[in-house]
Amino acid sequence: MTWVNAVIQGLLLGGQYALIACGLSLTFGVMRIVNLAHGDLAVCGAYLGLVLSTALGVPVWVTLPLLLPAAFCAGLALQALLFGRALRHGLLAPVLVTFGLSVMIENLLQVAATSDPRGLNGGTLALASFRIGSHITVSWLFMTAFLTACAVLSGLQLLLSRTAWGRQVRATADDLDTARLVGIRVRPLFATVAGIAVATAALAGVFIGTIGTFDPFAGANSLIFAFEAVVIGGIGSLWGTLIGGMALGITQVVVGQVNEAYSVLAVHLLFLAVLAVRPTGLFAGHQTAREAWGALG
Amino acid sequence: MTAQAVKTPLLDVTGLDVFYGDFQALFGVSLSVAAGGATALVGANGAGKTTLLRTIAGGQAAASGSISYRDEDLTAAPPHQRISRGIALVPEGRRLFGSLTVEENIQVGAAAAASADWPLDRIYGVFPMIAGRRRQRASTLSGGEQQAVAIARALAAAPSLLLLDEISLGLAPVVVEALYQTLAELRAAGTTLVIVEQDLRRAMAVCDDLVCLLEGRVALAAPVPAVTRDQVVAAYFGDRT
């Protein structure tokens, strides 16, 4: 029964990894930006949630209607002021720019909020749980994080495959130059993609901060897990990212069952094994990443 | 000049200089296209034909010179503004969005459409060969079908000026024949054409005007009836005497 429990808990944990990873997958798949500040943006979301929920005296969930639009606008601004400019100078420039952004965010947060670990007020949801059978207890908070991740990824997938916006995003991911030539306005398109990526990161940050604690440097760790989920699932494949996150979560919890000390190491080994056997990820198959992107539609 | 001077030019390109980094691809190229006509753009590989079409479509910036369309200066306009004025390009090598379906490729072409004159039904009416493949991914089509989709994607923008870059490249003669049949229909419907074509005989048979580029400069520009094949060939290879 403990193993079944471990798999279930791992699955739920994997949902959180997928939630933070989907923005990373989106920005890389569409704009070819590896956003090294993605984890830090998630942590910024957690701090914003802390500020808002403390100021208003409400659980952090209540602040989401304020927090998510703010994060979306921050994404628009980052794209307009930083990423878009960096992209004009080749592939290396965005890596350097997002790395610099990451360092800046971490140090600014430390100055503004100190390095003390913080937690978010999750209200009654944070402590509630339900039982499956007589041995397995599932936290409603973990369940909510998992279901939110599934909803966000499905919603994004629907947007990409069914709307005119999604069609233009996929076309641009296929061939940027031709997308411009056929009349797609790439700049606003990229801005909305960045907005969505930052909003999902902030949402993931709120779950990170409610389930555990966070400090100004928590972003780096989130980034590694998110990056691994994206690569395991196959770059540009959103469903792959969800499966990749779950594979990470299950590995972490199941190995942790045997020996807690090896749980995180096992996750990284899984990542290396997938890279060695299938460098394109589990769901990209032998197609290129961009083809896999379209195959989802 | 004779044929074009009578009608007002639809497209007027003057003194275009275009660079790729330090390399100059076009040197003071001027071109005038009359409404309703068809202009053949010929020249050897590397003469600047593709660069000229891309510059007219907005994919390449002009260092100097001007592009005016219906008396509006579009020299610095981004591609989507040119498309909404009625200029659409069928790029060299088709450049379809491989992960999108045929229909999605065509719908993307309507992103900045000049009008609603070319709904999907009308496009499929012109290209029955792709109508049955609308849900198929573009990368799975044959070369001829892909070329048809590339033209269909440009048509979705409802262009009044259609720029076609080497649509017959790598295709079987019977497929090329079918594509040119379609172009004749488009012309009859009032679309102005600029065609880059390697096959000189076909270019001269289809078009009213001919422009020959040589190493980035206009070597010859004349109405087709006024030039002989030998004159075009001489302009094509340059005067080496």
Within a domain: residue B124?
yes
Classify B164 as helix, strand or coil: strand
Residue B38 contacts residue B186 (beta carbons within 8 Å): no
What are the Cα distances from residue B143, in Å, to A98, A288, B95, B138, B174?
41, 20, 11, 10, 12
If 0-12 CB within 10 Å is exposed, 13-18 middle and 19+ buried, where does residue A17 land? buried
Chain A residues close to B80, C-beta within 8 Å: 180, 183-185
Tokens of A2: 């403990």
pLDDT for the residue A91: 81
Instruction: Give the closest of B91, B99, B153 to A174, CB-based.
Output: B99
> A2-111+134-295 is classed in which CATH architecture?
Orthogonal Bundle (1.10)
What is the least distance, in Å, from the CA of B33 to any CA of chain A? 21
Residue by residue, DSSP assigns A177-221 as: HHHHHTT--HHHHHHHHHHHHHHHHHHHHHHHHHHS-B-TTTHHH
Q: Is the pLDDT of residue B133 over 90?
A: yes
Helices (H), chain A: 2-31, 38-56, 64-78, 84-87, 92-113, 140-162, 164-174, 176-181, 186-211, 219-233, 238-258, 263-277, 289-295
**Helix axis angle, A186-211 relative to A140-162, nearest 10°?**
170
pLDDT for the residue A135: 84
Q: Which of B185, B166, B146, B168 is nearest to B41 (CA)?
A: B166
* Distance between CA atoms of residues B13 and A291, nearest Å: 38
Q: What is the pLDDT of residues B212-226, one digit of tens each?
A: 999 999 999 999 999
- Region B144-148: mean pLDDT is 95
> Cβ A183–B83 below 8 Å, yes or no?
yes
pLDDT for the residue A32: 86
Within a domain: residue B120?
yes
Within a domain: residue B216?
yes
Percent of chain B with pLDDT over 70: 96
Query: By 3-state DSSP, what share of chain B in percent is helix, strand and coil, each rounded to 5?
Result: 40, 30, 35
- Region B112-137: mean pLDDT is 93
Classify A94 as helix, strand or coil: helix
Residue B27 contacts residue B17 (beta carbons within 8 Å): yes
Q: Which of A274, A235, A245, A204 is nearest to A17 (CA)?
A: A245
pLDDT for the residue A30: 87
Cβ atoms < 10 Å from Cβ of B24: 14
- Which pTM was predicted? 0.90
CB contact set of A267 (below 8 Å; sequence gap of 6+): A225, A228, A248, A251, A252, A255
Expressed in angstroms, the distance from the first to the final Cα of chain B is 28
Nearest residue on chain A to B90, judged by CA atoms?
Answer: A182
Residue A183 contacts residue B80 (beta carbons within 8 Å): yes
* Distance between CA atoms of residues A174 and A178, nearest Å: 9
Antiparallel, parallel or unpaired: β B72-73 and B64-69: antiparallel
* Parent domain of B31: 2-236
Tokens of A232: 């395991």
pLDDT for the residue A283: 79
Q: What is the pLDDT of residues B12-51, one digit of tens each?
A: 999 999 999 999 999 999 999 999 999 999 999 999 999 9
Tokens of B7: 């009608």
10-residue mean pLDDT series, chain A (297 residues): 90 94 91 93 97 96 97 97 91 93 97 94 89 88 94 94 95 94 95 97 96 94 92 86 94 94 94 90 56 42
φ, ψ at B39 (rounded to 5°): -115, 130
CB contact set of B96 (below 8 Å; sequence gap of 6+): B105, B138, B139, B146, B149, B150, B153
What ipTM does this complex have?
Answer: 0.91
* Distance between CA atoms of residues B4 and B224, nearest Å: 12
pLDDT for the residue B7: 59
- What's the length of chain B? 241
Within a domain: residue B241?
no
Instruction: Give the closest of A164, A170, A175 to B95, CB-based.
Output: A175
Chain A residues close to B97, C-beta within 8 Å: 170-171, 174-175, 178-179, 294
Chain B residues close to A30, C-beta within 8 Å: none
Domain count, chain B: 1
CATH of residue B146's domain is 3.40.50.300
Residue B57 contacts residue B29 (beta carbons within 8 Å): no
* Distance between CA atoms of residues A96 and B24, nearest Å: 32
Within a domain: residue B98?
yes
Task: Give chain B's mean pLDDT.
Answer: 92
What is the least distance, in Å, from the CA of A164 to any CA of chain B? 8
Cβ atoms < 10 Å from Cβ of A162: 11
Distance of CA B17 to the CA centre of its chain: 19
Within a domain: residue B72?
yes
What is the least distance, in Å, from the CA of B7 to any CA of chain A? 29
